[in-house]
């Protein structure tokens, strides 16, 4: 399962693999929108992005969304996240040509720590 944070005005798409990552909790605000995408709901949820049912604007209730993508296959989950970005980008320019940034891995090691250690 991955957690992906999309921010519209800031042009941000951040992937969290570690469910205990403090950023996931910190970034949740009151009334936070979350799209739960699993194999049973994938076509329904992707359709909402394709059909512009998820709208984005520069106000707190519409400026971001969390994707919770659960397919038990990390590569597929990241591909789904990239596809969501492409679908949203058809309606919203800030999401166009926006790459996914990995924030943390599932073993709890943050990506920035890995880089610092030269691994
Ligand atoms: Zn994280």
pLDDT per residue over 7-21, tens digit each?
A: 999 999 999 999 999
Tell me the CA distances in angstroms from 114 to 13, 86, 100, 119, one per residue in order: 20, 29, 18, 6
Q: For 68-83, what is each residue's pLDDT tens digit?
A: 999 989 999 999 999 9
Ligand 1 centre to CA of 18 (Å) is 6
Ligand 1 centre to CA of 4 (Å) is 9
8 with 62: CB under 8 angstroms? yes
Report phi then psi at 35, rounded to 5: -105, 115
Q: For 30-42, what is each residue's pLDDT tens digit?
A: 889 999 999 999 9
Ligand 1 centre to CA of 21 (Å) is 5
118 C-beta neighbours (distance < 10 Å), count: 5
């Amino acid at each position: 399962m991955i957690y992906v944070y999309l921010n519209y005005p800031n042009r941000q798409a951040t992937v969290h693999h570690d469910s205990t990552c403090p950023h996931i909790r910190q970034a949740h605000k009151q009334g936070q929108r979350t799209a739960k995408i699993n194999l049973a709901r994938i076509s329904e949820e992707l359709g909402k992005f394709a059909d512009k049912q998820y709208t984005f604007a520069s106000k707190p209730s519409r400026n971001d969304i969390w994707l919770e993508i659960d397919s038990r296959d990390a590569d597929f989950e990241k591909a789904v996240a990239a596809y969501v970005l492409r679908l949203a980008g058809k309606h919203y320019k800030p999401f166009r040509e926006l790459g996914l940034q990995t924030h943390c891995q599932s073993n709890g090691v943050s990506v920035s720590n890995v880089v610092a250690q030269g691994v």
